[in-house]
Structure 1
Amino acid sequence: MDFTPTEEQTAARELAARIFGDLSTHERLTAVGTGSDGELWKALCEVGLLAAVEDIGLLGLVLLLEEQGRTTAQVPFAASCVYGLLAVSAHGSAEQRERLLPGIADGSVVMTGALPDTAVRAGAPGELSGVAPVVPWLRDATHVLIADEEQKLWLVRTADARCEPVELTAPWSAGRLILDAVPAEQLGGAGAYDDVLATARTAFAGLQAGVCAGSVARAVAYTNTREQFGQPLAAKQGVQLRAADAHMDTEAIRVTAYEAAWRRDEGLDYAAHALTAAWWASEAGQRVVHAGQHLHGGMGADLEHPVHRHFLWGRQLDAYLGCGSELLQELGESIVHGEGEGEGDA
């Protein structure tokens, strides 16, 4: 395995870091509130970062999402890339790819996903009915990739459905999707659902790695400048140990996400690796963002402090697409049934 980024991946990551760092500031996030940052979204699309994902692969996307997570930038970047660009590229028909990919790449088509648990059923041919109770970034989306009860994937235009705002722990512009014989088009066939879900778990683990890295960085900066009894808090052994544990947890999330993403890009089986990355993102992620707040002392309890956003995002991500115990059970069942033992696993 070689997780060394290519020149293209490195260039894209550096560009993403600059844009997120310049535009996703504490002041701008405060002004945006719980909505999305339209100006930031426009900037990302104009420089071609969404379009680049088709070339730099899932590992490249994970690198970009780390940079988004560091700044908790409020844009549907992960959702539109995972449920849109990568899903349509991998499983769409030639006609679907030609029709949808250009709009996803330039940001005029914004995709999100309603996976894995929905109460949606396919009725008459090409029609869906039911409810997806919580869909992240639904208020920004033009299309939703949704799974029915048989785990078939369908594309639905939000303009054809009813969308009600829902507030989540993190400010993800979420909504409730209500379908009543809404027209839909199928995306992919057998195996598409499993691949998209594994891709999403890997990508959002990368996002969690960035959220955690940002939380740790803020805690380190704070404890190095905050003094107690004439010494910085960072000089205390207890603070050092807590920060070190948080750093190691963050690295575990990062490396497992890299491995899963690399394997997908190489055409290897990666389902078990995606579950592993998602488990670390859930279990370790909540430890890290709690530690980040704790290391800020009383400041960590301030809801207006920047570190609180990392806490909210970390807690949202620790249960998104499956909490730790659910993921561990799914991973155990896949091992029992001999799944995830494809070539290259020796």
Structure 2
Amino acid sequence: MDFTPTEEQTAARELAARIFGDLSTPDRLAAAGTGTDIELWKALCAAGLVAAVEDIGLLGLVLLLEEQGRTTAQVPFAATCAYGLLPLVAHGTDEQRERLLPGLRDGAVVATGAVTEPAAVRARSGPSVGAAGREEGRLTGTVGWVPWLRDATHVLVADEDRLLWWVRVADAETEPVHTTAPWSAARLVLDGTPAERVGAPSAQLEDTPPAGDTRPYEHVLTESRIAFAGLQAGVCAGSLARAVEHTTTREQFGRPLSTNQGVLIRAADAHMDTEVIRVTAYEAAWRYDEGLPCATHALTAAWWASEAGKRVVHAGQHLHGGIGADVDHPVHRHFLWGRQLDAYQGCGSEVLAELGAMLAKEGDQ
């Protein structure tokens, strides 16, 4: 394993760090509320960072999302790449890639995903091949909440058969919901909503029929888990950096707080937790890019992101003392983001149960 970033990945990460550092300031975050910082999103797309993910791979995306997490930048970067760009690159038809990718690259199309509750959605009528050979269908069901849905133009939906569909948000019904983190989330209501199947129509597939092929769904779920684990690594790193700055500059009884042994131990534990999240996300992303089996590695990264991430953002807030409880303090955003990411794709116990079942199944084969 070699997690050393390539020149392209390093350049992209440095550019992302500069843009996030310059534009994702506390004042701009407060002004954005739960919505997207449009100017920041335009700057990221104009710099080619969304488009760059096609070339720098999932490990490169993890590096970029770390930089977003450090500042809790209010943009749908992770969602657009994990549920739009990468799935279409990997599973879309040539026609879909030619038609849909340009909008994702330049920011005109904002994607999100409703893939964690496939049992909640069903195809009300059988798919048919429509214009330009696209497989079309109509979906019915309700997904409890989808991140960034209120700011998205399209949503990737998984149905009960774990098939993937591309849906225009304007064709569905959305109901705003409040989440722990200030994301523009909403409930997705589908009632015979038109949808376009991601991938080739049945007639064009010679081997496994689409109805029995869940590999694209599993592929998307795996890469999205890795991507959001990378985002959590950045959230934790940002929280810890703020705690270190506070404890080294704030004095108590004539000494910096950082000289207190209890503070040092708490910060050291948070550092180790952050590093574990990072390295498990890196390993899973590297294996993904290399075409190696990585489903269990993705679940491992997701478990650490949930369990360790929760500890780190609590520690970051605690190390700030009383001001850590101030909802307007920057460290509080890290706390909110960390807790939301903790539960987004399954809390630690759920992820651990899935990982155990997967390992047991592999052991029986």
- TM category (shorter chain) comes to over 0.9
Report what 2:154 is aligned to. 143
Shift of 1:196: 0.2
Shift of 1:214: 0.2
Shift of 1:172: 1.1
Task: Work out the CA distance in 2 between the residues paired with 1:264 and 1:34.
Answer: 32
Report what 2:123 is aligned to. 122
1:233 and 2:233 aligned: no
Report what 1:344 is aligned to. none
Report what 1:298 is aligned to. 322
Aligned CA distance change for structure 1 residues 93 and 215 (closer, same or farther; 3 Å): same
The letter of the residue matching 2:152 is: A
Aligned CA distance change for structure 1 residues 340 and 175 (closer, same or farther; 3 Å): farther
Task: Work out the CA distance in 1 between the residues paired with 2:98 and 2:142.
Answer: 29
Tell me the secondary structure at the aligned position of residue 129 of structure 1.
strand
Report what 1:155 is aligned to. 166
Report what 2:54 is aligned to. 54
Shift of 1:175: 0.7
Task: Work out the CA distance in 2 between the residues paired with 1:117 and 1:206.
Answer: 22
Task: Work out the CA distance in 2 between the residues paired with 1:309 and 1:80.
Answer: 21
Tell me the secondary structure at the aligned position of residue 193 of structure 2.
strand
Task: Work out the CA distance in 2 between the residues paired with 1:153 and 1:296.
Answer: 44
Report what 2:191 is aligned to. 180
The correspondence for 2:225, drawn from 185, 193, 201, is 201
Tell me the secondary structure at the aligned position of residue 318 of structure 1.
helix
Task: Work out the CA distance in 1 between the residues paired with 2:363 and 2:166.
Answer: 28
1:14 and 2:38 aligned: no
Contact 1:270 1:340 (C-alpha < 8 Å) held by counterparts: no
Report what 1:287 is aligned to. 311
Report what 1:222 is aligned to. 246
Q: Normalising to structure 2: TM-score of the pair?
A: 0.92
Task: Work out the CA distance in 1 between the residues paired with 2:345 and 2:145.
Answer: 11
Contact 1:334 1:340 (C-alpha < 8 Å) held by counterparts: no
Contact 1:216 1:292 (C-alpha < 8 Å) held by counterparts: yes
Consecutive unaligned residues in structure 2, runs of 5 or more: 128-136, 200-209
The letter of the residue matching 2:350 is: E
Shift of 1:169: 0.6
1:40 and 2:64 aligned: no
Larger mean CA deviation between 116-125 and 238-247 belongs to 116-125
The letter of the residue matching 1:121 is: R
Report what 2:350 is aligned to. 326
Shift of 1:340: 12
Task: Work out the CA distance in 2 between the residues paired with 1:27 and 1:66.
Answer: 21
Task: Work out the CA distance in 1 between the residues paired with 2:364 and 2:336.
Answer: 32
Q: Normalising to structure 1: TM-score of the pair?
A: 0.97
Shift of 1:339: 7.3
Aligned CA distance change for structure 1 residues 131 and 207 (closer, same or farther; 3 Å): same
Aligned CA distance change for structure 1 residues 37 and 333 (closer, same or farther; 3 Å): same
Task: Work out the CA distance in 1 between the residues paired with 2:26 and 2:364.
Answer: 42
Task: Work out the CA distance in 2 between the residues paired with 1:325 and 1:281.
Answer: 12
Report what 2:337 is aligned to. 313
Shift of 1:167: 1.5
Shift of 1:129: 0.8
Q: Alpha-carbon deviations, 1:281-303, whole Å to 9, x = none?
A: 00000000000000000011111
Tell me the secondary structure at the aligned position of residue 299 of structure 1.
helix
Q: Alpha-carbon deviations, 1:102-154, whole Å to 9, x = none?
A: 11011101110012115111011300011111010001111100111111111
Tell me the secondary structure at the aligned position of residue 5 of structure 1.
coil
